[in-house]
């Protein structure tokens, strides 16, 4: 008899657990299990081109967890072209690419320590990509990560995105006597890219993006971007206001500093001046709703910078 009582109590307990589980499942239908927290930060529209630059620190530092976050970010923000830096792991990059239905991507291969650049972009849509390739591969001193170029059209208008990851570190001083000084290398990288754009795309709308590892707001004597800043008829950093806003959100909050930039050529000046352009640091940590430490642990120590424009 005692065994029958025990079995009866166990059965009753299992029934109760099943009932509770059933109630939980019913209630969860009100909130989809696959809801995307990043969708609240959507910037994409049907009539605009969106380009996002994002350093995903040592991708993928939490493996599939990081890859899943990247998929959700791209889906949620609904951008067109994603320029990535520090894409070390090809397997997880392929996982991201396969997790974005209707998308594809390319990853460079020449970077030291496999800290490669990459692009993600849709196969069909208003933005059509015609070519992706590396350039200036013979300049490892200036460009340890060769620029990665994407050519495409948006509603029949040509555009070019040049993805970069400049040399890091330094002491905020350009040492002309030391060719391997970090600031000197970054300054010389800017000179090379300036010449490349003028030579190859004099009449095309060019969007220069990436982690440039330096500030736009430095004085002219120490500014590695001074050649661009000295040509306001040709170039414009559209995130300049973000860099100057010391109370705003920057792309590298833990320093804090703003190191990830977007520069346009004069073919896009009218859109910038006419108010048909949005530039912002995407607050992914806030959208995630779990604080900066969780975002940094699982995804990156950088936040993306996004451009939305009508070319």
- Mean pLDDT calculated for residue range 100-125: 94
Do 44 and 78 form a contact (C-beta atoms < 8 A)? Answer: yes
**14 vs 55, residue with greater confidence:** 55
> Model confidence over 188-197: pLDDT tens digits?
999 999 999 9
What percentage of the chain exceeds 90 in pLDDT?
Answer: 83
Q: Which two tokens stand for residue 48?
A: 């605009």
The tokens describing 170, both together, are 């330094």
* Angle subtended by helix axes 90-99 and 64-77, to nearest 10: 40
Q: Which of 93, 81, 145 is nearest to 117 (CA)?
A: 145
Alpha-carbon torsion (231, 144, 134, 309), positive or negative:
negative
Please state the rounded mean pLDDT for residues 5-25.
35
- pLDDT per residue over 55-100, tens digit each? 999 999 999 999 999 999 999 999 999 999 999 999 999 999 999 9
What is the per-residue pLDDT for 275? 77
- Given a cut of 50, whether residue 18 has pLDDT beyond it is no
pLDDT for the residue 125:
87
Find out whether 285 and 252 touch, Cβ atoms under 8 Å.
no
pLDDT in tens, 153-206: 999 999 999 999 999 999 999 999 999 999 999 999 999 999 999 999 999 999
Whole-angstrom distance, CA of residue 286 vs CA of residue 155: 33
Per-residue pLDDT at 7 exceeds 70: no
Strands (DSSP E) along the chain, which ranges?
Answer: 49-59, 81-87, 103-107, 116-122, 127-134, 148-154, 157-165, 205-211, 235-237, 260-265, 277-281, 305-309
Neighbouring CB atoms inside 10 A of 114's CB total 15
Contacts of 61 (CB under 8 A, 6+ apart): 300
Task: Look at residue 42 and give its three-state secondary structure.
Answer: coil
pLDDT tens digits along 24-45? 333 333 333 459 999 999 999 9
């Amino acid at each position: 008899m005692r065994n029958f009582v025990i079995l009866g109590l166990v059965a009753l307990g299992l029934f109760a657990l099943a009932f509770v589980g059933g109630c939980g499942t019913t209630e969860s239908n009100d909130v989809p299990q696959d809801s995307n927290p990043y969708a609240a930060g959507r910037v994409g529209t049907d009539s605009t081109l969106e380009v996002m630059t994002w350093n995903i620190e040592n991708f993928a530092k939490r493996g599939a967890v990081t890859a899943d976050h990247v998929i959700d970010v791209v889906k949620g923000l609904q951008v067109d072209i994603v320029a990535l830096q520090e894409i070390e792991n090809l397997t997880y990059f392929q996982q991201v690419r396969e997790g974005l239905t209707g998308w594809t991507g390319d990853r460079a291969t020449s970077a030291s320590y496999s800290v490669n650049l990459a692009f993600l972009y849709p196969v069909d849509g208003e933005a059509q990509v015609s070519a992706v390739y590396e350039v200036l591969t013979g300049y490892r001193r200036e460009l340890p990560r060769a620029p990665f170029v994407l050519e495409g059209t948006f509603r029949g208008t040509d555009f070019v995105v040049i993805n970069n990851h400049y040399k890091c570190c330094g002491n905020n001083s350009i040492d002309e006597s030391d060719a391997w000084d970090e600031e000197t290398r970054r300054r010389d990288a800017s000179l090379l890219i300036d010449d490349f754009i003028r030579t190859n795309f004099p009449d095309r709308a060019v969007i220069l993006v990436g982690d440039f590892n330096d500030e736009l707001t430095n004085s002219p004597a120490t500014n590695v971007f001074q050649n661009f800043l000295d040509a306001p008829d040709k170039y414009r950093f559209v995130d300049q206001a973000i860099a100057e806003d010391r109370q705003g959100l920057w792309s590298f909050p833990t320093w804090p500093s703003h190191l990830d930039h977007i520069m346009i050529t004069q073919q896009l000046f009218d859109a910038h001046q006419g108010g048909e352009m949005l530039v912002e640091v995407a607050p992914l940590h806030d959208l995630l709703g779990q604080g900066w430490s969780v975002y940094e642990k699982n995804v990156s120590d950088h936040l993306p910078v996004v451009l939305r424009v009508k070319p």
